[in-house]
Amino acid sequence: MATNTAAGGINALKLWPWLIVPFIAIVLPFVFDSGHTINLLSHMGVAIIFALSYNMLLGNTGLLSFGHAVYFGLGAFVAMHLLRAINDAGGTGLPIELLPLAGAAAGLGFGVIFGSFSVRRAGVVFAMITLGLGELVHSSSLMFTDFFGGEAGLFGYRDEAPSLLGVDYAPSRNVYFLVVAWTLIAAILIYLLRKTPLGWMANAVRDNPERAQFVGYNPTIVRYIQFVLSACFAGLAGGLFVITNEIVNDEVVGQLQSGAVLLGTFIGGIGYFIGPVVGASLVTFLESSLSAHTEAWVLYFGLLFISIVMFAPMGLVGIVHTQYLNWKAGGWKGNTGIRLYILVSGLVGIFGLICVIELSYHYFRSWDPGAPFILMGISTNATHLLPWLVSFAITIIGFGLMLLHGNPLLKRHISANSDGGKA
Amino acid sequence: MLETIAYSIFNGVLYGTLLFMMSSGLTLIFGMMGVLNFAHASFYMLGAYFAYTLGLTTGFWLALILAPIAVGAMGALVERYGLRRVHQYGHVPELLFTFGLAYVIEELVALFWGTVPVPYKAPAVMNTTAFTMFDLDYSWFKVFILLVAVVMFVGLWLLLMKTRAGQVIQAALSRPDMVGALGHNVPLVFTLVFAFGCALAGLGGVVGGIQFVTDPGMAFMMGPIVFVVVVLGGLGSVPGALVASLIIGILQTFFLSINFSLAETIGTLNIEDSGFFGVLWHMEATRIAPVLPFLLLVLTLIFRPRGIFGKREA
Amino acid sequence: MLHNKKTGRFAGIMIGLSMAFSSATYAQEDPIRISYIDPLSGPFALAGDGGLKSFHFAAQKLNEDGGILGRDIEIVPMDSKQSASEAVQLVQRSADEGINFVTQGNGSNVAAAIIEAIERNNRRNKDNKMLYLNYAAVDPALTNELCSFYHFRFDAASDIKLEALTNYMKDQEDISKIFLVNMDYSHGHFISERMAELVDERLPHAEIVGDVLHPVGKVRDFSPYVSRIQQSGADTVVSGNWGIDLALLVRAIDSAGLDVNVYTYYGGAGGVPAGIGPRGEGILRQVTEWHADVNVDEGLEDYEKWFQEFKKQYPQFDWYYHRIYNQMYMLKAAIEEVGNTDDVDAIALALEGMKFESPTGTVTMRAKDHQILQPMYISVMDTNAKYDAENSGVGFRTVASIPVEQATVETSCNMARP
């Protein structure tokens, strides 16, 4: 967790990510101009805000929530009601660009209410309260159909609302630019919040609540403020979601939504500001693309998550960052080849594992396991022994080389070098 | 009304004992290791599937013993090669590890056994009627569930109170560091307790899979309720888990069995069935029953975070 | 890499099929593609999987006979994860890929979202209009207040099913006390309200003695509900439950030894027969447009062969969706009448009012609301049925067949036509 501050320091020194990333974001829709891809990009934007807000709890304050979708969802519902009111009024009222603010206000309001009794304790108690609250809100979303629209949900039209800038929001590309703008605003605000005394106190409360108390800060109040602000940004994401999707139903307050933001944030890396950005983008992308290509996508997802938790608890950004620091410190000198060797053998192992999983799905799930299917470009019969042997062999050789040969080799190399005075 | 009460108590106890079978293992694991095992219900599911598959060759009775052992072995592997590695990073990664594990187990079960429920049934002798109460038949199988639960509770109690291993576990529940200092192999104790807790869940699955349906969704549905039991009962308290299981079982059954809403009992008072309070006023008890456990969970955590019998907070 | 693998696998299956049936059809042009948007992963995957296999099979049969306009039909599976917002995304993706036809069936909430998305697409994207062929979402609203020119329903709507059911029940003098058990969402709410009206109107010898709603997919132990059924003295239960919620309900009724008949919509599929097994015999009844033993009763030899071939190909499943048969052949007729697949408005107009000779009799796509009208059957679970369902050892035996006139309900639809 300590790398948090280190990473923050590095980012603060360098303004270029804040220029490059929005530039790429603006260029992207001209590279991929299919409506589906642009929608996917918009969803990534929404997911990024949501994940950043989640990381204000998990990464910054050490609060693990299983019910963050409550604030996202309630924000979305309030924004949707407002949008419908605007539609009903013949397209007059609040400009569509400001609709996410309604979501943010709702998130703030519910954060104030629910936070008041959730944050008294951190840890498992907090996690369980959020789990219970999540279930309660989700269940009531099907009971109070006036507000939640039942399981069919609510529809609204983004192009039947006034625009501040006179833009027609029917084409998804225009919506995407709005999403980029809001994502940037939210990201800057969340980033700046980390740099305030409140942000530092949140870190202190996360790492050692007793000591924070002695210094004179009430941990409950610090947690409460962080919680409320986080709920506010989650509501903002919910409001933006209304504009991109034009439909809101009980899913947005559901457990799957809460689980997805947790997965995304953690996979990206909770100790880094850009961790949730990377994680949320990746998870959104995988969720929509992987499921179109393989039946086993949930399994891959689960395995990826478990591997991250087990082997790289600082997330994907953590891996890159650690290696980068290592490289900068000269840790790669003389052993770059070995590192590459480990990487390649690991990838070979993953490749073999994917083959095994795809073979299994074909063998167990298909109506005719004997029918030939194409595995990695080769026509294969899952009822024959050979493809299984080859796949298992690739897996074992790949991981075997990585764990039993590459890793010890690297360790020996490093210790041999450190004898020569290098850390 | 008498019928309803008698009936709720009996069926609630029945449902409660099934909850107890699952939650007793979880409360041991939670209390001792501080790990809220999200995948606990997945081991319950594995118990049902193992018993079904084993039962095809060995018959039900042998499967009743073998399946929990197999699940326990799986649990041991998970603890030894998964949780122990994650342990060094703290409790949150542990929780997340089991969270991911639950997804993976569900997918693997769906892969090997298919998404269709498997025809896992009790032996024919147990489907005969044992007794009839208020015109409703109760099969020998339901009596058997009660029996298994009683044997389990007594067995657990004896194990924890009367054996040396139980004493170590008891001690480790409240003062893990102290137990380590006394020279016990705490990691080994952890592995054994985790395996044992999983085996208990597996036993619950062997029975629950028959009482309900054995399909890949069974873990996902049972999971949150088991948490509620453990929190309500108090962390690490086996008697607490029993009492909480029975409370939730009976309360939920009672709410489902009565025909009650504020509007019907007190009168509509011209309150319309819309708006937040209007809907609540007209809400039928049966519709509230399923969210009752979560309401209890939140209220417990707000007002008494250590639960009914717990000695310390989470 | 992954992409190639999946399409490759699909191609592999297709090669396998063409070898297995040694049919020598070659597509002269691109295939006619239909997006299949239903859950293919997660807790509802079973339902989506069964539908997908039925569509694959029907497409394969049509292709063996030369496809549509000489072009093959290709079903493009898309995983909706049973989420309305995901389904909206997939409609967008289908539009991007130039697909003109979308089919979906699981969940009226998803169906409503798809109607909304397709209306929006057809308004904003006039060069690439789409049709939505609904094979199983039964909410009456979809052909009433929400009706759309681009939506066609090939399943009987919920109100039609109740109409058929009560037309049967009104002649059953032994039905006197009816208990309603339904899922707590609009589908269940509708049955509970509509059934109360129908009993008042049509069943003077019967009354409703209980009406409970329970949450979807969250109840593990149905015995409390069974106790309420027992205390009410009901002899008949009507339930719109599906999947696990129905299996658990019937099992609880059976194990309590309660002597009631349970009338359902979805007793024959979605894991219900497998979950209940022979314990549902004589208890579980269903109202459907077709079931396997109809072929035997009515001597439909060709259709029985269809059923058997499906079973041979997918041993874990049964041919259950007769409506998919109707849907595919009616779509074929409409496209061949128009002569191309791009003029979606013309295809919709061709489907409107179409009469089709289905194995079970003439079915009509009502022009006013795009709701199919077809004969219905009431059947009961029976171990002596010729074909069992989901390899459970029990199948369904016809109790009554309901002619089209008794399975028709007026509509309030007032749709905007292009």
In 3-state terms, what secondary structure has residue B293?
A: helix
Q: In this structure, are A289 and A364 located in the same domain?
A: no
The whole-number pLDDT of residue A14 equals 65
Determine the residue of chain B that is closest to C257 in CA distance.
B137
A376 has a chain C CB within 8 A of its CB: yes
Whether the CB-CB separation of B196 and B25 falls below 8 Å is answered with: yes
Q: Is residue A74 part of a domain?
A: yes
For residue A186, which of A241, A232, A227 has the smallest C-alpha distance? Answer: A232
**Inter-chain residue contact B224 with A131, CB threshold 8 Å:** yes
Work out the average pLDDT over B1-27. 84
Using CA atoms, how far apart are residues C202 and B229, in angstroms rounded to an integer? 48
B163 has a chain C CB within 8 A of its CB: no
Q: In this structure, are A278 and A194 located in the same domain?
A: yes
| Among the ranges given (A94-103, B67-76, B265-274), the one the predictor scored with the smallest mean pLDDT | B265-274
> String of b and e for A341-370 (b: at least 16 CB within 10 Å)?
bbeebbebbbebbbbbbbbbbbbebbebee
Q: In this structure, are A109 and A237 located in the same domain?
A: yes
Question: For testing the chain C interface, which of B8, B9, B134, B136 should be mutated: the one with the most C CBs within 10 Å?
Answer: B136
The ipTM is 0.86
Q: Which residues from chain A sit within 8 angstroms of residue C140, using beta carbons?
A: none
The whole-number pLDDT of residue B84 equals 87
Using CA atoms, how far apart are residues B286 and B296, in angstroms rounded to an integer? 16
Q: Is residue A152 part of a domain?
A: yes
The whole-number pLDDT of residue C36 equals 95
**Inter-chain residue contact C231 with B3, CB threshold 8 Å:** yes
Helix, strand, coil percentages (3-state) for chain B, rounded to 5, are 75, 5, 20
Determine the residue of chain C that is closest to A39 in CA distance.
C89
Using CA atoms, how far apart are residues C378 and A257, in angstroms rounded to an integer? 41
Query: Hey, which residues does B33 pair with through a beta bridge?
Result: none
Quote the minimal CA–CA distance from A283 to chain C in Å.
14
**Inter-chain residue contact A132 with B297, CB threshold 8 Å:** yes
Q: Which residues of A lie inside 8 Å of B (Cβ-Cβ)?
A: 58, 62, 64, 117, 120-121, 123-125, 127-129, 131-133, 135-136, 139-140, 143-144, 146-147, 259, 262, 266, 296, 298-299, 301-303, 305-306, 309-310, 313, 360-361, 364-365
Q: Which residues from chain A sit within 8 angstroms of residue C2, using beta carbons?
A: 290, 293-294
Determine the residue of chain B that is closest to A142 in CA distance.
B287
CATH code, A267: 1.10.3470
Residue indicated by tokens 């309200």: C193
Using CA atoms, how far apart are residues C138 and C246, in angstroms rounded to an integer? 17
Using CA atoms, how far apart are residues C32 and C37, in angstroms rounded to an integer? 16
Using CA atoms, how far apart are residues C187 and C195, in angstroms rounded to an integer? 12
Using CA atoms, how far apart are residues B200 and B180, in angstroms rounded to an integer? 25
pLDDT digits (tens, 9 = 90+) for B191-217: 888 999 999 999 999 988 888 778 888
How far CA C372 is from CA of A135, B249, C321, in Å, comes to 39, 46, 14
Amino acid at B15: Y
Q: Which residues from chain A sit within 8 angstroms of residue B275, using beta carbons?
A: 146
pLDDT digits (tens, 9 = 90+) for B234-255: 877 888 889 999 999 888 888 8
Chains adjacent to A (≥3 CB pairs closer than 8 angstroms): B, C
C184 has a chain B CB within 8 A of its CB: yes
Helix (H) or strand (E) holding C25: none
Determine the residue of chain C that is closest to B136 in CA distance.
C256
Give the pLDDT band of residue B182 (cuts 50, 70, 90). Answer: confident
Question: For testing the chain C interface, which of B286, B291, B294 should be mutated: the one with the most C CBs within 10 Å?
Answer: B286
Q: Is residue A313 part of a domain?
A: no
CB atoms inside a 10 Å sphere around CB C26: 8
For residue C268, which of C325, C321, C310, C309 has the smallest C-alpha distance? Answer: C321
Q: In this structure, are A281 and A134 located in the same domain?
A: yes
**Inter-chain residue contact A298 with C78, CB threshold 8 Å:** no
Q: In this structure, are A264 and A338 located in the same domain?
A: no
Number of domains in chain A: 2
How far CA B164 is from CA of A70, B184, B236, in Å, comes to 47, 12, 18
Nearest to C218 among B118, B284, B290 (CB): B290
C193 has a chain A CB within 8 A of its CB: no
Q: In this structure, are A276 and A345 located in the same domain?
A: no
Domain span holding position A26: 3-294
Cα of A235 vs its chain's centroid, Å: 16
**Inter-chain residue contact A377 with C8, CB threshold 8 Å:** yes
Nearest to A293 among C2, C16, C96 (CB): C2
Q: In this structure, are A22 and A93 located in the same domain?
A: yes
Nearest to C244 among B132, B134, B213 (CB): B213
Q: Is residue A319 part of a domain?
A: no
- The bridge status of strand C261-264 relative to strand C236-239 is parallel
Whether the CB-CB separation of C378 and C285 falls below 8 Å is answered with: yes
User: At which of A278, A294, A310 does a domain end?
Assistant: A294
Residues of chain C with pLDDT under 50: 1-28
- Domains, chain C, with CATH or none: 2-156+304-373 (3.40.50.2300), 159-288+375-407 (3.40.50.2300)
For residue C3, which of A293, A36, A352, A298 has the smallest C-alpha distance? Answer: A293
Determine the residue of chain C that is closest to A157 in CA distance.
C120
> String of b and e for B170-191 (b: at least 16 CB within 10 Å)?
bbbbeebeebeeeeeebeebbb
Q: Which residues from chain B sit within 8 angstroms of residue A360, using beta carbons?
A: 111
**Inter-chain residue contact B305 with A121, CB threshold 8 Å:** yes
Using CA atoms, how far apart are residues B94 and B23, in angstroms rounded to an integer? 19
Q: Is residue A299 part of a domain?
A: no
Using CA atoms, how far apart are residues A263 and C136, in angstroms rounded to an integer? 33
Q: Is residue A359 part of a domain?
A: yes
The residues spanned by each domain of chain B are 2-219+246-260
Q: Which residues from chain B sit within 8 angstroms of residue A382, using beta carbons?
A: none
Question: For testing the chain C interface, which of B8, B129, B215 should be mutated: the one with the most C CBs within 10 Å?
Answer: B215
C214 has a chain B CB within 8 A of its CB: yes
Using CA atoms, how far apart are residues C245 and C232, in angstroms rounded to an integer? 21
C positions 9-28 inside 8 Å of A (CB): 9, 11-13, 15-16
**Inter-chain residue contact C95 with A35, CB threshold 8 Å:** yes
C214 has a chain A CB within 8 A of its CB: no
Q: Is residue A256 part of a domain?
A: yes
Determine the residue of chain C that is closest to A32 in CA distance.
C96
Q: Which residues from chain B sit within 8 angstroms of residue A305, using beta carbons?
A: 96, 99-100, 103
The whole-number pLDDT of residue B139 equals 79
**Inter-chain residue contact B95 with A305, CB threshold 8 Å:** no
Q: In this structure, are A207 and A68 located in the same domain?
A: yes
For residue C132, which of C347, C325, C329, C290 has the smallest C-alpha distance? Answer: C347
Using CA atoms, how far apart are residues A186 and A275, in angstroms rounded to an integer? 15
Print pLDDT tens along chain A (423 aa): 334 444 444 444 567 778 888 888 888 888 887 778 888 899 999 999 999 999 999 989 989 999 999 999 999 999 999 999 999 988 888 899 999 999 999 999 999 999 998 888 888 888 889 989 998 998 888 788 888 887 778 888 888 888 888 888 888 888 999 999 999 999 999 999 998 989 888 988 888 888 888 888 888 999 999 999 999 999 999 999 999 988 898 888 988 889 889 989 999 998 899 999 999 999 998 888 887 778 788 889 889 999 999 888 889 999 899 888 888 888 777 778 888 888 899 999 999 999 999 888 888 876 667 777 777 777 778 788 888 898 899 999 999 988 888 888 888 887 777 654 443
Residue indicated by tokens 């006197």: C176
Q: Is residue A288 part of a domain?
A: yes
Quote the minimal CA–CA distance from A338 to chain B in Å.
25
Q: In this structure, are A78 and A222 located in the same domain?
A: yes
For residue A223, which of A60, A69, A355, A83 has the smallest C-alpha distance? Answer: A60
